[in-house]
Structure 1
């Protein structure tokens, strides 16, 4: 799994400009009605990147942000796991994605990937890791207060990622 292939897959989940006032990610303050409503484009949100001109963001600029900020979240991993972690890091933030993977490999979920987490990953079959990881993502989405609004899309994303995991293993 190289970055270009992973990006091409992931960008299919991330759309054009969204200015949904109910989405906390669209606000520079990270909460509804906090800061400036700048939106989200290509999955790059005003909450995470308040200094960016979200509306003027190009696909190439978004791709470079993905490469720099989300691609190398952990070191060595099976390509299928690497893609799933990349997708989760973009969608939930790196810390949350790492915590989900740590839970999936049965180590302390502190959000910091180190040698203990890596050994946990290497001890498990990657198919088991994939199933457990996506299950933790589904649980994460379901506990969000905005699930009633956005849950259908998130669930669809999880199902598509399970299908991709089956192709990648």
Structure 2
């Protein structure tokens, strides 16, 4: 694990999580929340959480209805709904008393970053702005 580099794992995360949940097809910020949810709780669970936030049938597949519904709502509202649903999901297991604070901090940080992305989307080609933006979020 120590020998892994960002260059090695980035394509794996891109293919197995980002692309698998079709994060590029979602509004700015929402894709990030869904990606993080998928990495930490599984792709199907993350998409079901998104579908529940949309109040549509939840099958765990990011199909046309799920993606079309995302376009009809404010990204900030969807980010909040997905993060709230994720916290509800994370509170259910008996491990919440032991790991809950860390999980809650993670969701809070993801929500904050996603809302910032939604408020000020960065064009993927604007690398200088993106680097400055990412440093600001990490702070």
> TM-score interval w.r.t. the shorter chain?
0.7 to 0.9
Number of residues paired by the alignment?
116
Larger radius of gyration: 1
1:85-132 CA-to-partner distances (Å, cap 9, x unmatched) read 111110111000100111111111110111111222122111111110
- 2:7 counterpart of 1:60: yes
1:109 equivalent in structure 2: 58
The 5-angstrom pairing of residues 13-162 of structure 1 reads: 54=1, 57-72=4-19, 73-74=21-22, 76-162=25-111
1:47-91 CA-to-partner distances (Å, cap 9, x unmatched) read xxxxxxx56544433322211101111251112011111111101
Unaligned runs of 5+ in 1: 1-53
TM-score by length of 2: 0.75
**Contact 1:141 1:147 (C-alpha < 8 Å) held by counterparts:** yes
TM-score by length of 1: 0.63
Aligned residues: CA RMSD? 1.6
Unaligned runs of 5+ in 2: 119-139
